[in-house]
Homo-oligomer: A and B are copies of this chain.
Amino acid sequence: MGVSERDGRGAREERREAMCPHRLVLEHVTSRWGVLVLDALLDRPYRFSELRREVGKVGTVSEKMLAQTLRTLERDGFVHRDAKPVIPPRVDYSITELGREAAEQVRALARWTGARMADVQRARAAYDAARETSTAV
């Protein structure tokens, strides 16, 4: 196998890493599953499968994506991974101080989004209505 897929991070991402590093970090914490993982871990530590179920309430996460998301967040220093050498394996994920700061902002944004949902939907309705009348089907 090539070097490109040596870990979870895409090849594209690495190329972009050079020009604007913090943009990538932003994308990590606001990524599809990153948001949900951080939000969950803000409340308490989770085990892998537990997290999978919790996050999965919003839409199925494959093991692959969850693992990838966790690895990225761990590498960035947002999540702490505690693998206990027992059988059966048990791994606990928790949030770090750095991660907490990020997670709180992400959660705030998520909350705001929820709070303003009505406005957004009104705007969408208006937008769609305007297009429907002008664009004769």
- Residues of chain A having any CB pair with chain B under 8 Å: 16, 19-23, 25-27, 29-30, 32, 35, 58-59, 74-77, 98, 101-102, 105-106, 108-110, 112-114, 116-117, 119-124, 126-128
Contacts and interface: CB of A to CB of B under 8 A. Distances in A.
B25 A113 contact: yes
Contacts of A75: 123-124, 127-128
Given A23-B58, A77-B123, A123-B76, A109 B112 contact: no
B120 A25 contact: yes
26 contacts: A19-B58, A20-B59, A21-B121, A22-B110, A22-B117, A23-B35, A23-B113, A25-B120, A27-B30, A29-B109, A29-B113, A30-B109, A75-B123, A75-B124, A75-B127, A75-B128, A76-B123, A77-B120, A77-B122, A77-B123, A77-B124, A77-B126, A98-B116, A101-B116, A102-B116, A105-B112
**Those 4 A-B pairs whose CB atoms lie nearest each other, nearest first:** A77-B123, A30-B30, A75-B127, A22-B113
